[in-house]
Structure 1
């Protein structure tokens, strides 16, 4: 897939630097808190890195911002059509995510993802801000939240506090699902209103 100026890599580069500056964190401190190497963070901020699900969710957790504040899924109005094949894939150890849309309604923000859990694989998360909702479309999905495990089939739903440690696993064939991340509007960093990067950036 071709990488445009609106690619995940480019959007993360700009928003990560702004979010870090807004939080007053140096690269060294962000590295310490997120367990992501300084060199990797520098590459991400320069647009040269290769972000993974683990990286983006770890940054979301440490910076306490929704995923969309890092990936900049701008809201749209009117008819919105998003073609799955045109969206970049954000991959992790066991999951491939395609970001489809951000929906804002009153004090609530939803991020909508097409989520595929690869067969025989598991994706773990230490937790991040928001509430997580998953609806299985095809396959059998094992979900574990802070030690409690459930298995879901097509049409089944699970929701939980995303701050809790959790994991998804597809013990057999690949699983197709819809992932919705829900936030309160006051949990957002509102990067559009932030001071431009570099104006008062915390130094390494």
Structure 2
């Protein structure tokens, strides 16, 4: 999702300013909508802030855009190879995300992430745009979505409306998973998450 020469800070700065301006929002109004301080937003737009998962997800929710609209520089090659050592990690309180790709087809946008929930940690989200899909690769993941707790092991899958408050936790050791976020083109709100 990013070119090797672009940092997460630079990409987020340009995309955040573009999306905020496109919607005619002041920094103050975006601060209210996202629950992020105006000074922090100013730093993010000037590429001097340190974005976290929580920040990016809050901005996605407030602007009602896919996360990749904030983080994407678009690959143009027919074959996309993403090397782990060349991909910046976006970290939060309990999760490290590596953006792998953004796919657009048939009126749907899908973002693919390598996700690691750190051992003994929890990652809380107030919600964000799109539908969230997670497939556990290794470890035991505890997911709580809108008050419903589910334990997931290797090969298990969960999907839900990303706008719902949710938490991922790894109480027994690190968890590796594939996270896919999907949105309708034009960022229309999804009515029913797949079952």
TM-score (ref. length: structure 2)? 0.92
CA distance in 2, matches of 1:75, 1:40: 29
CA distance in 1, matches of 2:120, 2:30: 33
Go from structure 1 to structure 2 and tell me whether the alpha carbon gap of 1:134 and 1:125 turns closer, same or farther (over 3 Å shift): same
Q: Which residue of 1 aligns with 2:192?
A: none
Cα shift at 1:121: 0.5
Identify the range of structure 1 (121-130 vs 78-87) with the bigger mean alpha-carbon deviation: 78-87
2:35 matches 1:18 = no
Question: 2:11–2:73: 8 Å Cα contact kept in structure 1?
Answer: no
CA distance in 1, matches of 2:4, 2:113: 20
Q: Which residue of 2 aligns with 1:201?
A: none
Q: Which residue of 2 aligns with 1:49?
A: 49
- Which sections of structure 1, spanning at least 5 residues, go unmatched? 189-204
CA distance in 1, matches of 2:64, 2:77: 27
Give the 4+ runs in structure 1 shifted more than 6 A: none
Q: Which residue of 2 aligns with 1:67?
A: 67
Higher RCO by CA contacts (8 Å cutoff, separation 6 or greater): 1
Cα shift at 1:42: 0.6
* 3-state DSSP of counterpart to 1:172: coil
Greater C-alpha radius of gyration: 1
Give a deviation string over 1:103-122, Cα, whole Å, max 9, x none. Answer: 11110111000000001100
* 3-state DSSP of counterpart to 1:144: strand
Give the total of aligned pairs. Answer: 186
CA distance in 2, matches of 1:58, 1:32: 11
- Which sections of structure 2, spanning at least 5 residues, go unmatched? 189-195
Q: CA RMSD in A?
A: 1.4
Cα shift at 1:52: 0.2
TM-score (ref. length: structure 1)? 0.88
